[in-house]
Chain A
Amino acid sequence: MNAKLIFGMTITLSLATAMPVQADSKSPYLDAKTAAIIKRDFRDKGIAKADRVNQDELQVACSKYRDDMPDGTNDMPNRTKVNLEEKQLKSIKWPADGNFVGDWKAGEKLAQSGKGMTWSDKADEPAGGNCYNCHQLSSKEIAYGTIGPSLLNYAKKHGSREESERRAYGHIYNVKAYIACSNMPRFGSMGILSEAQIKDLVALLMDPESPVNK
């Protein structure tokens, strides 16, 4: 056993005894310990590899703070929120042709599908949009979730046509550019859906013939 190792062990031991468990929620010691436990206690399964537990800057901040609670219990400092949202906005790749709208029927199929990216999904199976899991998108579909807001009549609610389309595309591509800690995934930035698929979902939100606006 070399001196460096003994020194390291002594430090670890003294840290362990010097840091009593704190009852309050802000404890860097417990934060570090939690991170180490998570890194150790998760393993590869199917397409879900162990490195998925590694967090990016936004995930770290949004594990600590909230900015999206409807009951007003938000505690994220405003400067952190603005900084995160600016960075996320930069990750949005806007369509090169300036057209935001695809096929609403393909969008509806995508919205119904909750598949994708779990360890029981296959790598070659494309992910669905998971939209109905959390949003109401049709007055006919009764099996809709309520974690996100109802999107019924979306086209009529968000200003001019071009503004609405751009807003819808941006929110689906990376909602965190608008609400840093939103519960919704970053479908474009995280590579869950393609640009064409996002356009189909924009069409679902915007087309007057789609169930969203009927």
Chain B
Amino acid sequence: MNTSNVSKVVMLLALATSYVAIAAEGGVSDSDRIAQYREMISDGNPADFDEMAGEELWKKPGGPKNASLEKCDLGKGSGVVKGAYAEMPRYFKDTDRVQDLESRLMTCMNTLQGIPEEEIAAKPFSTEQKNSDISTLATYVVGQSKGIKMAVSVKHPKEKEAYEIGKRIFNYRAGPYDFSCSTCHATSGVRIRMQDLPNLNVAKDAQAAYTSWPAYRVSQGLTRSFEWRLNDCFRQQRFPEPKFASEATIALTMYSAVNANGAEYAGPGLKR
């Protein structure tokens, strides 16, 4: 075990202990607990390790073409990572469509490295057994927008359309429980059990929620991407599974991101 692995284990143990201690206190909402927890570990977030691993993946030649992703255009020009996430999703001329971060990474991994998109989409999320490359890459890219103001454009007609479709999907009720995103996320100041729910139709809540994803989930011991966040919402909505980086999830991401415009991007975040 090398030094960085040792320090990682020590840090995770400390985190787990403090989390359990805080979780054991009764009568405090989850958000309060998380706030206390964040303060206790203000000098580090385990997602930092994924940021570093993602940067390595970005720079390392790979795939059938044995190329790195350093020439990937995330919207601000070939190879520009700084600030790119704060302007995503966005319209890309070469693919003639609106793409979120994961969708765009898939395009770059495909065109630059020669990895088939189906192969990438088959491993969209990290598990306890294995990290997902695309998820780890996403953690690196978002970290390069920390402190930068969210400025997602709806100027291109396809961007405007993605936003409008995202709004409709947000309100789309279906399934055995009649749920939509808006069932939980269209009212301010409500919660499920102890979990506070952001009202994603209003700027203040949308900003706080959106700019904290992707995030390290203490309860899962993994850094989770925004695509994962949407996926797990649909699970709890009793919906079938949304396809990874599909037009549906990109549109919903567009809706959330535009509603968060104006706030400083603060991720990768840290959550229960």
Q: Which stretch in A97-105, A143-151, A163-171 binds the other chain?
A: A143-151
Interface string of B231-257 (1 = CB under 8 A from A): 000111011111100111101000000
CB distance A55 to B174 under 8 Å?
yes
CB distance B168 to A34 under 8 Å?
yes
Q: Which stretch in A78-86, A112-120, A154-162, A197-205 binds the other chain?
A: A112-120
Residues on the A chain within 8 Å of B238, using CB: 48, 52, 117-118
Query: What's the count of A-B pairs with C-beta under 8 Å?
Result: 143
CB distance A145 to B190 under 8 Å?
yes
B38 lies within 8 A of chain A by Cβ: no
CB distance A37 to B165 under 8 Å?
yes
Residues on the A chain within 8 Å of B247, using CB: 37, 40-41
Residues on the B chain within 8 Å of A49, using CB: 240
CB distance A119 to B192 under 8 Å?
no
User: How would you classify the secondary structure of chain B's contact residues: helix, strand, loop or mixed?
Assistant: mixed
- Which one, B167, B183, B193, B246, contacts A41 given CB within 8 A? B246
Q: List which A27-59 residues lie within 8 A (CB) of chain B.
A: 27, 30-31, 33-34, 37-38, 40-45, 48-55, 58-59
- Which one, A27, A48, A185, contacts B241 given CB within 8 A? A48
Take A43-B240, A48-B238 as given contacts and tell me if A21 and B160 are in contact as well, using a CB distance cutoff of 8 Å. Answer: yes
Residues on the A chain within 8 Å of B27, using CB: 142
A96, chain B: closest CB distance, angstroms: 25
B153 lies within 8 A of chain A by Cβ: no
Residues on the B chain within 8 Å of A33, using CB: 161, 165
Which residue from chain B places its CB closest to the CB of A59 in the assembled complex?
A: B173
CB distance B242 to A41 under 8 Å?
yes
B46, chain A: closest CB distance, angstroms: 24
B153, chain A: closest CB distance, angstroms: 14
CB distance A43 to B241 under 8 Å?
yes
A190 lies within 8 A of chain B by Cβ: yes
B193, chain A: closest CB distance, angstroms: 5
Residues on the A chain within 8 Å of B168, using CB: 30-31, 34, 63
**14 sampled A-B residue pairs with Cβ under 8 A:** A33-B165, A34-B172, A37-B247, A41-B248, A41-B249, A42-B234, A42-B241, A51-B240, A54-B174, A64-B171, A183-B179, A183-B183, A185-B176, A186-B178
